[in-house]
Structures are given as structure tokens and as C-alpha cells.
């Protein structure tokens, strides 16, 4: 038994549960502030967890790209890298340069321009070739856009619940992850793959991941080939 200050509740509560009581008391203040006081609760005929959740959480504006990560059945590591990219938190070379970590900010994939995020995805000659092959594999006939253009296109045309939309979101996450992986492997492992090789790996990874879903498996059955 933990003995705290005389006259306080902590004197009769074991230390391992005292933190829980603190949280409950703090939540009581939050509920009271949001209008859920004792008088209001007495007149509730049916408790709604959804209403309670909305009452205790602040109202935030939903970001337009939420469907790319929240409604994506891709591998967690793919979604994590995609999430960082959407927040512009990847350690791109121009960002590292501002911290004094690197001096050369030339893109290691194409060696033509400085490495910034909008260049790496998908203005870079290497990554644009990879993504163009993936678009052709998905039977999407359009030119490759930059990072902002691609995410905007995905938010507009592929935010639904249809299998083809889910497959596109998963493919985008896989492509971003593998392009990021390729960049790091060239730096740290000195290995180089061609755009065709990387596009082939994207297709393989998406097929293996998509087999777990019956809906996606039906769509992938029509995409049983490698992009040219």
C-alpha cells in the first residue's frame, strides 16, 4: 500500500494503479469542459461511443491524402515511408545539407539535378521511368507528374473503396518505398538496379501482398505480366 499525503486518495491506492486514477480524474475534467457533466449524463438514454469520442477530441481538418495511408492495405513499412514522404519528413539530401550532414546534394539516381523530394518522386529520370512502367502496367495512359501532381491525382481518382483504387494506393506505396530503398542501397551498399528491374520488383511485391485479398486477387489476375 502506498501512503501519500494525509487526506488524499493516493494513500489507499497501490502505486501500480495510481496512474490510472490520475488519468480518470483528468478525463473527468476534459468531459466536464466539453459539456459532458453529471447533469448531462443523467439525461442520456443511450451512450454513443462515437459522440463521446467527438466530444473529447479536438476538431481537426482532414487532410486530402488521408486515404493514401489510412485506407491502404500495403505493407506497414511501405505506408510508413509514404507517410513520411507526405509529411516531407524523409531525409532527402537537400534537407540533410541544411543540417550540415552532407555537402553534395546531387541526386544519386540520375546524377542530373539536386535531390529534393519533388525531384526524387517522380521528376528524376530513374524514378519517372519506373513509375511510367507501373502506370502502363496499370493501363493508365498519362504522363508522369511530380510528387504533388501524383498525390493530387491519386486523391482525386483513387480514393474510393473499389479494388482498382485499393490496388493503386498499394502500388504507389510500394513504388515510393522501393525507390527510396534503391537510393539508400546505392549510397550504402554500392548496388545499382535498372528502372526495369525495380518496376519488376514492384509488380512482384504487389502481387504477393495482394494475394491476401480476394477482391484484389481478381484484379491482379488481369495484370499477370511484367511492365515493358
Inside any domain, residue 205: yes
Which pLDDT score, from 0 to 100, does residue 15 have? Answer: 60
- The answer to whether residues 17 and 115 belong to one domain is no
- The answer to whether residues 109 and 200 belong to one domain is yes
Inside any domain, residue 193: yes
Blockwise average pLDDT, block size 10, the chain, 228 residues: 46 60 70 72 75 69 80 92 94 91 92 93 96 96 93 92 94 97 95 96 96 90 92
Inside any domain, residue 216: yes
Whole-structure pTM value: 0.76
Inside any domain, residue 4: no
Decide: helix, strand or coil at residue 114. strand
Reference 146, options 125, 119, 110; nearest CA is: 119
Which pLDDT score, from 0 to 100, does residue 33 have? Answer: 72
- The answer to whether residues 118 and 38 belong to one domain is no
- The answer to whether residues 70 and 27 belong to one domain is no
- The answer to whether residues 42 and 133 belong to one domain is no
The angle subtended at Cα 221 by Cα 218 and Cα 226, nearest 5°, is: 145
- The answer to whether residues 49 and 79 belong to one domain is no
- 3-state helix vs strand vs coil in the chain, percent to 5: 60, 0, 35
Inside any domain, residue 218: yes
Inside any domain, residue 61: no
Domain boundary pick from 23, 38, 56:
56
CA dist., res. 41 & res. 117, Å (int):
50
Query: From residue 202, how far is each of 1, 124, 176 by CA, in Å?
Result: 58, 18, 10
The total of structural domains in the chain comes to 2
Amino acid at each position: 500500500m502506498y501512503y501519500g499525503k494525509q487526506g488524499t486518495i493516493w494513500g489507499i491506492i497501490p502505486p501500480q494503479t495510481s496512474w490510472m486514477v490520475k488519468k480518470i480524474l483528468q478525463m473527468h475534467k476534459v468531459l466536464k469542459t466539453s459539456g459532458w457533466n453529471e447533469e448531462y449524463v443523467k439525461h442520456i438514454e443511450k451512450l454513443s461511443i462515437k459522440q463521446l469520442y467527438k466530444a473529447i477530441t479536438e476538431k481537426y481538418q482532414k487532410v486530402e491524402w488521408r486515404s493514401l495511408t489510412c485506407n491502404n492495405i500495403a505493407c506497414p513499412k511501405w505506408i510508413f515511408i509514404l507517410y513520411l514522404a507526405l509529411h516531407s519528413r524523409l531525409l532527402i539530401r537537400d534537407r540533410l545539407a541544411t543540417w550540415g550532414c552532407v555537402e553534395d546534394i546531387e541526386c544519386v539516381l540520375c546524377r542530373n539535378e539536386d535531390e529534393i523530394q519533388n525531384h526524387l518522386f517522380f521528376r528524376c529520370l530513374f524514378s519517372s521511368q519506373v513509375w511510367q512502367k507501373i502506370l502502363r502496367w496499370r493501363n493508365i495512359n498519362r504522363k508522369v507528374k511530380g510528387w504533388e501532381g501524383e498525390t493530387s491525382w491519386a486523391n482525386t481518382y483513387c480514393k474510393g473503396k473499389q479494388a482498382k483504387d485499393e490496388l493503386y494506393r498499394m502500388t504507389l506505396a510500394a513504388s515510393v518505398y522501393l525507390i527510396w530503398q534503391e537510393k539508400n542501397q546505392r549510397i550504402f551498399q554500392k548496388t545499382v538496379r535498372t528502372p526495369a528491374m525495380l518496376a519488376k520488383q514492384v509488380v512482384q511485391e504487389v502481387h504477393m501482398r495482394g494475394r491476401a485479398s480476394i477482391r484484389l486477387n481478381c484484379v491482379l489476375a488481369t495484370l499477370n505480366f511484367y511492365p515493358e
